[in-house]
Amino acid sequence: MVSHSRWRACLSVPLSYKEQIPVFGIGWVRAQYSPEMNSSYCTLLSAFIALLAVFVSLPLLRPDAHSFFMPFNFEGWLSWRAPTADLVLRNAVIYTSDDSLPFADSLAVRNGRILRLGNYSYVKELVGFGTKELNLKGKIVVPGFIDSHVHLIPGGLQMSRVQLRGVSERDEFVRRVKEAVRKSKPGSWILGGGWNNDLWGGALPMASWLDEITPYNPVWLSRMDGHMGLANSLALKLAGVTNLSEDPNGGTIMRTPTGEPTGLMIDSAMNFVHPYIPEVSIGERREALNKASNFALTQGVTTIVDFGRFFPGSSIELSWEDFSDVYQWADSLGKMRIRVCLFFPLETWSRLLDVVNKVGHAMSQWIHLGGVKAFADGSLGSNSALFYEPYVEEPHNYGLQVSDYEKLFNMTLAADNYGLQVAIHAIGDRANDLILDMYDSVLAKNGMRDRRFRIEHAQHLARQTPARFGEQRIVASVQPEHLLDDFECATKKLGLDRAQRGSYLFQSLLTSNAQLAFGSDWPVVNINPLGGIRTAMKRIPPNSKDAWVPSECLSVDDALKAYTISAAQACFLDNDIGSLTPGKLADFVLLSTDSWDDFAAEGYASVEATYVGGVKAYP
């Protein structure tokens, strides 16, 4: 039996401290003893104190420079503890896009990055003073969506202009322009776009639709695909377009049977009008970035791949102006709200190389310098996508090759030789094969490396082309929502069999081991990843109950990955984003549903909250 006095002597502490013992990393704890304690306790405590004395003496040793022994940091050891999380999510269904741990129920964030992921018993160790805990009550969490093809500032600008998307009648088309004229001063330009003539039966609009209501205002209205625009007669007059004007290379001036311009310009012909449209001010472009970013966040998009204001017939300087006037300005003032990966016109590859050599690809956590882009053809809706077979209603029209092949090859060869990523727009089957051939030739000359060549859109493919994407490891950057707009258009312009055989071959591309990256092409269609996921899963066109080529439907897992980890890999950002993995940036989206089974089966959900770097950015 141990008396109080013997216990006190054994510890060598005053009686008033007899019930507390110092323990590393914890502090003083209450000792538990009873009359049945024996001398072995005293022996153990003595050993403990001796060991403590050794550790305390370690800093007094002075090893020479060649010793393997390093001085012991006693103070650091005493103060060590697991890091405290800033934010912890628990009781969630967390889809990670990381095959090593596909699902989790809890997640911890610290300093904008994911600290730990797993079950709550594992994650709760990081809860401490200042940690915010969110009980999500079974709701689904997914990685922040990456929209792989956006024109961000044009989309933001379009939000303040005449919006014609979804208009299905000529009268409504005219009414919206008339309303814009009423709010404008004489002489000012009326700008807008988003129209789709297929929605009102296919008849193309003409300047004569607008001339009576716009006698003092020039008008320019882009088609939804950005490859065709409508000018009124006043705009044509300012641009000097007459019946004597010749079609430019890679473009077409649409004409009446008597040779008069109808007001429609296709691809590079749009450059007749573009120079006469007043430049958008820096302030307007900065506001457009803010509007567009806020809109993207409402859709769960945390990163976009931005192809800027670069379209056939537009100036190659516009993307660079936006880079310096808008993006660098916003980044320097802490005004960026979403992450951007920027692509620039291929003609300016050497300028991009100079910037990358000075600052690297990652300018900040917000801005990544991606690569360069060019065009191979036009669009289906404008009858300018390049095909092997002619358009059904135009038996002599195979589409347009909008870039000179030799020039395109030489620029691609040079850009790739210096390590820049190349992305080329190709929609028609012949255009896609043309670019695959060119990429193969570049690879043969420049040798093997991880280059991740991209083809933007890849909408209509020949029978053997999906396999070529896989063999050459080409990124197919596709937009599922285009399928909804193109179903009737493709059937009409290509014929039912041809359209079904080669259009939007998502599953064929995946089966062929192609890299699939999903996007929207906003403002051509709205930024809407959840809609794109549902379309890729179901492929049900408007006014239909049946899937368009059901063998090309994707699983929810494949569709989600195409908007997350696969999209990140497609632009060399997979080390930081694309999956919910410890160490990566904490970009994630809270969905409205708490049933994974329902979501996986039907794809229906909405965005409840969007977090960027672990901070709520929406709502």
What DSSP string describes 211-267? Answer: TTT-SSS-EEEEETTSSEEEE-HHHHHHHT--TTPPPPTTEEEEE-TTS-EEEEEEE
Are 412 and 422 in contact by the 8 Å Cβ rule? The answer is: yes
Are 91 and 196 members of one domain?
no
**Which of 256, 276, 296 is where one domain is finished?**
276
pLDDT higher than 90, residue 198:
no
Are 158 and 272 members of one domain?
yes
pLDDT given for residue 56 in this prediction: 43
Query: Which tops the pLDDT comparison, 286 or 271?
Result: 286
pLDDT higher than 50, residue 5:
no
Domain assignment of residue 115, given as a range: 83-141+592-619
pTM value is: 0.83
**Which of 79, 102, 120 is where one domain is finished?**
79
CATH of residue 114's domain is: 2.30.40.10
Average pLDDT of the chain, as a whole number: 88
Are 13 and 92 members of one domain?
no
pLDDT higher than 90, residue 480:
yes
Are 307 and 343 in contact by the 8 Å Cβ rule? The answer is: yes
Q: How confident is the model at residue 549 (pLDDT cuts 50, 70, 90)?
A: very high
Find tokens 């908007």 and name the residue: 563
pLDDT higher than 70, residue 74:
no
pLDDT higher than 90, residue 65:
no
415 within domain boundaries? no
299 within domain boundaries? no
Tokens of 596: 């994974």
What average pLDDT score do residues 61-70 get?
Answer: 34
pLDDT given for residue 43 in this prediction: 53
Length of the chain: 619
Are 23 and 74 members of one domain?
yes
Are 263 and 180 members of one domain?
yes
Are 171 and 107 members of one domain?
no
Count of helices and strands (H, E) across the chain: 21, 26
pLDDT given for residue 50 in this prediction: 54
Q: How far apart are CA 282 and CA 194, in angstroms?
A: 23
pLDDT higher than 80, residue 15:
no
pLDDT digits (tens, 9 = 90+) for 323-348: 999 999 999 999 999 999 999 999 99
Are 105 and 29 members of one domain?
no
Element (H, E) at 355: helix 349-359
Q: Quote the number of domains for the chain.
A: 3
Are 139 and 92 in contact by the 8 Å Cβ rule? The answer is: yes
Are 71 and 87 members of one domain?
no
Find tokens 């704890």 and name the residue: 29
What average pLDDT score do residues 469-488 get?
Answer: 94
What average pLDDT score do residues 79-86 get?
Answer: 75
**Which of 79, 98, 113 is where one domain is finished?**
79
SS (H, E, C) 101-136: CCEECEEEEECCEEEEEECHHHHHHHCCCCCEEEEC
CATH of residue 218's domain is: 3.10.310.70
394 within domain boundaries? no
Give the least confident one: 50-59, 190-199, 265-274, 485-494.
50-59
pLDDT digits (tens, 9 = 90+) for 86-136: 999 999 999 999 999 999 999 999 999 999 999 999 999 999 999 999 999
502 within domain boundaries? no
425 within domain boundaries? no
pLDDT digits (tens, 9 = 90+) for 147-163: 999 999 999 999 999 99
